[in-house]
Amino acid sequence: MNQIVECVPNFSEGRDKKVIDEIIKAIESVSGIEVLDIDMGADTNRTVVTFIGNPNIISEAAFQGVKKASELIDMRTHEGTHPRMGATDVCPFIPVANVSMDDCIEIAKKTGKRIGAELNIPVYLYENAASNDERRNLATVRSGEYEGLKEKLKDSNWKPDYGTSDFNAGAGATAVGAREFLIAYNINLNTNDRTYANEIAYEIRERGRWKREGNIEPFYYKGDVVYFDEKKYPDGNSDFVGKSFEELSAYYKEKYGKDLRKRYESLGLEPDNLIGKPVYKEGKFTHVKGLGWVIPEYNRAQISMNLTNYKISPLHEIFDVACAEAEKRGIRVTGSEIVGLIPYDAMKDAAVHYLSKMHKSPGLPVSDLMNIAVQSLGLSDVANFNPKDKVLGMPKSDGELANRITFDFVDEVSRDSPAPGGGSVAALSGALGAALGTMVANLSTSKAGFEEHKNKLAKIAEKGQITKDKLIRAIDADTSAFDEVIKAMRMPKDTDEEKNKRDIEMQKGYQSATLVPLKTVENCRNALDICKQISEIMDEGMASDVGSGALMANAGAISASYNVRINLKSINDKKFSSDTNKKLNRLLNECEQILITITKNVEKCL
């Protein structure tokens, strides 16, 4: 599976492009890293870099960036409007595809430990990687900023998680963390009245609008100083700003005939506990920040949001609530917009949600799922949305062979070259078998009489798509499986030492080349299982498709097994050969038994 981790370090330099270029060069020196975005800010004197890679390399790339920043940025001369405490101020790791938050926490700890040990930079872990609750909030960790760091490090409560407690005047300190993906998401309205966008934003976002009781404004106070509703008194221009709570209470008593203190008590609040805190009602979603504004170039109102945990507050649910709230106000949502990138899982969840509303199976190809999500959310309302450019971690097949059209692939197999050969054809055969079983499951979802099987059909189709995609990737994997063997064959063999080293590498290559077709056999067995499950509930008219799929999958398994066996003849490790043979025979026996069951189910319908 393609694993992707995102890293978004913030460097305290936003004016000297040469410095940033050197830092980017250091990050990209790690093979396999892809830099997605570089956002320099002159006023903040800060640059936000976004890059991705797999879990095995992302830590190294982050470390190289932090190291280079510590060499080129001197915090003693740094000025900017953004809070900061180090040359690399923050360095979060974010799970994007097939990676867990726990994985990112371990990467953060590994990276932080190395920064502290090798660069002598104090490191604080924050967000999900934090060592205690007080350090989860970045603002708390960064309090005092660079100017207060020297004294902060003397406080035993603020001993760094890694590195020295000595003040590093040049590099400052770095916060390393793990957090969820932040999605910048906007919802568009068919009006240019910002008031509507703000009202809906208040209903959606985590911190909703101020609590009211009738026409009484939600006053609050800090010490003895009174403040007012930010909407009605945006500049604090009121006769009662700066007055005491008792003076305000007297005003309420005279004007409304109500006791302000009792009003707070009726809401379950104590005035003394409201010091510096306005009283808000909760919005409908947590982990959502939002406000309304007007897009100048389109002259339309928009709800602009940051979703800090799309797994808890999915964007499709937010979109649906926005549509409902807009309708209450006599306006309409025209679509929405993703600013930057979005994880594949967020888009897939949206597609599954809307397919469920349509009473359709979610077990569709990736391209179809993305199309459903884009259309349902109106993501091309103000600008074209291309999933290939905007969706991170989207499953895809980059293989040269897999991307060829059918007759081109068949022609390639027929040529006088050893690859693609039987292994690639076996994988294709298995993929077609999985595809046929999945097709029947998808078609059955909308057929009358299959209502009770809806959930089972959806699971069959989803598993079928996963199995099909694995086998498609195996088409190219099998062709390149022998690369290690060929590379070893080309090693020098002039001395006994060179011969021995060459033999060792060739054996490693043969073992790797054996495991690839063995995995194809396993996935062909899974494709057969897809056909078996659907054969138990299929419509009679689809029996031939299920039977054909089963035969294709079984043929793929047998064909791939030939590749396993012929490679085993070149392997000297008896235990490896014995274990592989046992697993191969077990898989083939399972395939045979599953095929027998499917054949019986199919022939009953013929």
CB-CB contact of 513 with 481 (8 Å) = yes
- The more confident residue out of 576 and 212 is 576
Q: At 46, is the secondary structure helix, strand, or coil?
A: strand
| Cα 338-331-294 angle, rounded to 5 deg | 50
Q: At 90, is the secondary structure helix, strand, or coil?
A: strand
- The more confident residue out of 600 and 414 is 600
pLDDT > 90 fraction of the chain, expressed in percent and rounded: 56
pLDDT in tens, 488-520: 888 898 898 888 999 898 898 889 889 999 999
**What pLDDT sits at residue 240?**
46
Q: In the predicted model, what is the mean pLDDT of residues 598-605?
A: 93
Cβ neighbours for 439, distance < 8 A, ≥ 6 positions apart: 545
pLDDT in tens, 345-364: 999 999 999 999 998 888 88
Measure the CA–CA gap between 308 and 287, rounded to whole angstroms. 5
Distances (CA, A) of 52 to 7, 33, 95, 418: 6, 6, 10, 36
Q: In the predicted model, what is the mean pLDDT of residues 403-422?
A: 75
Q: Looking up tokens 């235990």, which residue turns up?
A: 575
DSSP states of 366-430: HHHHHHHHHHHHTTTSSS---HHHHEET------TTTTS-HHHHHHHHHSSSS-S-HHHHHHHHH
Measure the CA–CA gap between 185 and 342, rounded to whole angstroms. 9
**What pLDDT sits at residue 478?**
76
pTM of the model: 0.66
Q: At 89, is the secondary structure helix, strand, or coil?
A: strand
When pLDDT is cut at 50, 70 and 90, the band that residue 308 belongs to is confident
Q: Looking up tokens 């590379």, which residue turns up?
A: 487
Q: Is 82 a catalytic residue?
A: yes
Which listed residue (82, 229, 287, 573) is catalytic? 82
pLDDT in tens, 110-122: 999 999 999 999 9
When pLDDT is cut at 50, 70 and 90, the band that residue 236 belongs to is very low
Alpha helices for 290-396 (secondary structure H): 315-328, 344-357, 366-377, 387-390
**What pLDDT sits at residue 405?**
62
For residue 362, give the DSSP letter: S
Which listed residue (345, 349, 469, 478) is catalytic? 478
Phi-psi region of 225 (alpha: psi -120 to 50; beta: other; left: phi over 0): beta
Measure the CA–CA gap between 426 and 449, rounded to whole angstroms. 36
Measure the CA–CA gap between 434 and 549, rounded to whole angstroms. 7
**What pLDDT sits at residue 248?**
61
Averaged pLDDT score across all residues of the chain: 85
| C-alpha closest to that of 210 among 196, 228, 195, 190 | 228
Measure the CA–CA gap between 271 and 248, rounded to whole angstroms. 12
Q: Is 476 a catalytic residue?
A: no
| Cα 340-343-344 angle, rounded to 5 deg | 125
